[in-house]
Structure 1
Amino acid sequence: MYKVIFRIKGGYGTSFRELRQANFTPIYFRKDKGEEYYITLFRGKDLSEVKEAILDLSYYLSKYGKYGDHNFATIYEVKNQNFGKVAGGALGALAGYYLGGLAGLFVGALGGIFLGELLDIEMGEKLVGVLGWPMSISR
């Protein structure tokens, strides 16, 4: 699995549709002074798949007048760990049961698993590289 951080400029609106078309799952979004900043996940086993998906994304974005710079995509390789999911699920279930009974147990467990997954991603990442906007796609 790979975590990719995108910095997108130009155009109007957000780029969620284009990210999903290129098989990226957005987990964080921020827009600041005309620049969109996305943290996404890509479930793939090979770095070449990620690079191909980034090229597809840049094509989809160029249709709407969006573009990137020399730091368009920052790629991190994420190890598949389970410690955060297990610990988060157990703590969330315990807190949910204490605060809300049996229904709180299920809701707390689901929330804890989600937060544990985010913790696993942050703890097990390794920088692979930074890709610029493809020159073959004109602005």
Structure 2
Amino acid sequence: MYKVIFKVNSNGKFTNSLKTLSKSGFIPIYFKRDRGIEEYTAVYRSNDINEVKEAIMDFAYLLSKEGKSGGYDFAKIYKIEDQYLGKVAGGSLGALLGYQLAGIAGLILGTLGGIFLGELLDIELGQTPVGLLAWPIQQLTE
């Protein structure tokens, strides 16, 4: 699995591109906008780096059709190792707290929430940097 952090220049557009990111095959995790620069954090479920680069090209093409662009630090790629420690710890802690606070319904919801948070923890702890890709599409000047 790979994690990719995109930096996109919105060029005055006030829309986010989360649907475009999903169309490219990524699973969006986080979105932030700051002074015209949008930052997307997404996960791609594949163990082949070439598939990830192809999905990045698709995303860049769809963004260029929206009038957005990127720079030299368009996509930061991280390889994520499959770990289960965070999911197990989060699920059991969430189940324990949920049961203490709300009984059986809390047990179920706490387990699901703990597994989700544990997955995010596994992603953050098990990542190693792979590379940095610049904006892959040539800008057309008119």
Shorter-chain TM range is over 0.9
* Aligned mates of 1:85, 1:69 — CA distance in 2: 35
CA deviation after TM superposition for structure 1 residue 137, in Å: 5.7
The alignment partner of 1:58 has SS state of helix
The alignment partner of 2:73 has SS state of coil
Given that 2:31 and 2:41 are in contact with CA atoms closer than 8 Å, whether structure 1 keeps it comes out as yes
Given that 1:73 and 1:132 are in contact with CA atoms closer than 8 Å, whether structure 2 keeps it comes out as yes
5+ long unaligned stretches in structure 2: none
Partner of 1:12: 14
Partner of 2:55: 53
Partner of 1:80: 82
TM-score (normalised: structure 2): 0.94
Aligned length: 139
5+ long unaligned stretches in structure 1: none
1:42 has 2:34 as partner: no
Taking only aligned residues, the RMSD between alpha carbons, in angstroms, comes to 1.1
**Runs of 4 or more off by more than 2 Å in structure 1?**
135-139
* Aligned mates of 1:20, 1:138 — CA distance in 2: 26
> Percentage identity across aligned positions?
54
1:61 aligned partner, one-letter code:
L
Which range moved further: 6-15 or 44-53?
A: 6-15
1:26-53 CA deviation, whole Å, 9 max, x = no partner?
A: 1011101111011100001100000000
Given that 1:58 and 1:137 are in contact with CA atoms closer than 8 Å, whether structure 2 keeps it comes out as no
* Aligned mates of 1:44, 1:101 — CA distance in 2: 38
1:3 has 2:3 as partner: yes
* Aligned mates of 1:25, 1:138 — CA distance in 2: 29
